[in-house]
């Protein structure tokens, strides 16, 4: 929805509110008329014609507004003009009873979020109420504060007489009374109206500024969303995602997946053939989240893969990758890495662990167990770090599961962690599961554990079955 549509809907909504105010005013005018007719309220002049005029004018304006479903452009002018005229006419005969009515049209104009409209209403209010006060000074309820009688004037009254009736026949300077009324009454109210008008115009300007900022924010959000979608696709394309990965190779089966906590994440996995007899397996977790982590992830992934493809051992590949990453790491980010190279013909798996999660291994037809291998420092932490490695002898039927901390640290609503024990238990529910089924079982177990709790870390897993 664009800004013009928003403003159009706001104007229709404001017209509905103005119509409601007119209807409320009609009820109040009718009640006031009844109170004057029964003598509860007192007026020096007859107000019957005034009340009829007010009710008819407001009823016609409200009906016209509803007839066009509040949508025509002229509706807001008709409603505001009707309201202003009714309040002004009422003020002309009830000069100090209804002074608050003067500012209502100005305040109501703010609802339209238009500085020009608010200024028009303010000017109209000043002019119309000036005429009302000028008329009221001669014909409305006499305000004794502004009448000056000759010195020694005697006022005779009784217990049934209102003061202004008692002095009605006493001569006074009408012109002076009007001047006093304009200076001491209208001028004071005029200054109050100006204060209210300036305040309302500033409120409208603030509202317009918020609308503009909302528009800019919406456009920026849409742009950022599109860019994040593209970044997500680029990141996804960077990871191998076609399974079975090597359908021509019957010696092993593997499967991997990544579910980022945000649109893009810092986790990654990788697998590739170094040569006809060696398969590289990588899983890693970059510090941080979002686009910076994703950029560092792609940088690290390529450096590690390039070193492995040169035929280096896992320890040597991580040592050289660490040196290269530290040389260009001004943001001091780091990445935990588990790297394994499988000699397919023999089942020998040579591994190095740079501060990553413990792998989970099933061997010799037994259960899955946590393999507490030796941890070295994370890659990117210290430029002179030298990494070690260890070997695992796989036999046909053995399975390996590696993962990032998003699995073990998945959190439920009670702030409990999923943990490695639950991870191992989920794998042992079906020890003969294929790599794809292993990842599915873990994902189901994590989802069941966390339920609707928000997750703040990526969920990345890789599973291997060695068939020999």
* pTM of the shown model: 0.59
In the DSSP assignment, the letter for residue 112 is: G
Q: What is the pLDDT of residue 189?
A: 81
Give me the domains of the chain, ranges plus CATH numbers: 3-219 (no CATH), 241-466 (3.60.40.10)
Long-range contacts of 327-334 (CB under 8 A, 24+ apart): 327/383, 329/380, 331/292, 331/296, 332/380, 333/286, 333/287, 333/288, 333/292, 333/293, 333/296, 333/380, 334/286, 334/287, 334/378, 334/379, 334/380, 334/381
Q: Is residue 310 over pLDDT 90?
A: yes
Whether residue 62 has pLDDT greater than 70: yes
Q: Give the 3-state secondary structure of residue 390.
A: strand
Query: Which of 86, 87, 98, 81 is closest to 185 using CA atoms?
Result: 98
Query: What is the reported pLDDT for 96?
Result: 58
The pLDDT value recorded for residue 259 is: 82
Within 13 Å and on the Cβ side, how many CA atoms surround 85?
15
Give residue 77's pLDDT band: very low, low, confident or very high (50, 70, 90): very high
Indicate the pLDDT class of residue 95, thresholds 50, 70 and 90.
low
Which element (helix H / strand E) includes 246? none
Question: Which of 140-154, 252-266, 302-316, 420-434 shows the lowest mean pLDDT across its residues?
Answer: 140-154
């Amino acid at each position: 929805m664009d800004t013009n549509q928003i403003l159009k809907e706001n104007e229709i909504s404001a017209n509905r509110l103005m119509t409601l105010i007119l209807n409320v005013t009609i009820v109040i005018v009718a009640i006031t008329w009844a109170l004057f007719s029964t003598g509860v309220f007192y007026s020096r002049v007859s107000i019957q014609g005034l009340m009829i005029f007010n009710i008819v004018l407001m009823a016609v304006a409200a009906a016209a507004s509803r007839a066009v479903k509040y949508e025509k452009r002229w509706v807001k002018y008709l409603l505001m003009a009707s309201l202003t005229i009714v309040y002004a006419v009422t003020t002309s005969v009830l000069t100090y009873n209804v002074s608050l009515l003067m500012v209502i049209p100005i305040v109501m104009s703010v609802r339209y979020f238009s500085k020009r409209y608010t200024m028009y209403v303010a000017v109209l209010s000043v002019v119309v109420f000036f005429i009302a006060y000028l008329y009221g000074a001669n014909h409305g309820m006499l305000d004794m504060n502004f009448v000056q009688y000759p010195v020694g004037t005697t006022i005779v009254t009784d217990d049934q007489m209102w003061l202004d009736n008692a002095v009605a026949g006493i001569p006074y300077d009408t012109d002076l009374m009007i001047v006093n009324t304009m200076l001491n009454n209208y001028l004071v109210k005029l200054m109050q109206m100006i204060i209210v008008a300036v305040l309302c115009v500033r409120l409208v300007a603030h509202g317009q500024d918020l609308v503009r900022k909302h528009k800019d924010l919406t456009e920026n959000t849409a742009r950022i969303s599109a860019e994040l979608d593209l970044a997500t696709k680029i990141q996804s394309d960077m990871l191998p995602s076609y399974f079975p990965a090597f359908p021509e190779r019957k010696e092993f089966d593997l499967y991997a997946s990544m579910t980022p906590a945000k649109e893009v994440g810092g986790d990654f996995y990788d697998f590739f053939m170094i040569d006809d007899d060696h398969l590289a397996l990588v899983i890693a977790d970059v510090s941080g989240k979002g686009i910076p982590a994703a950029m560092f992830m792609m940088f690290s992934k390529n450096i590690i893969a390039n070193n492995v493809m040169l035929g280096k051992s896992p320890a040597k590949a991580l040592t050289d990758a660490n040196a290269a990453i530290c040389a260009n790491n001004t943001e001091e980010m780091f990445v935990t890495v588990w790297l394994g190279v499988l000699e397919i013909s023999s089942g020998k798996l040579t591994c190095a662990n740079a501060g990553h999660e413990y792998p989970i291994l099933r061997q010799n037809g037994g259960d899955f167990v946590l393999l507490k291998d030796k941890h070295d420092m994370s890659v990117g932490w210290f430029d002179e770090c030298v990494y070690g490695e260890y070997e695992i002898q796989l036999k046909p039927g053995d399975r390996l599961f590696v993962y990032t901390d998003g699995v073990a640290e998945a959190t439920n609503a009670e702030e409990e962690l999923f943990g490695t024990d639950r991870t191992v238990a989920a794998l042992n529910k079906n020890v003969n599961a294929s790599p794809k089924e292993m990842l599915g079982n873990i994902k189901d177990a994590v989802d069941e554990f966390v339920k609707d709790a928000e997750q703040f870390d990526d969920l990345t897993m890789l599973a291997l079955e060695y068939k020999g």
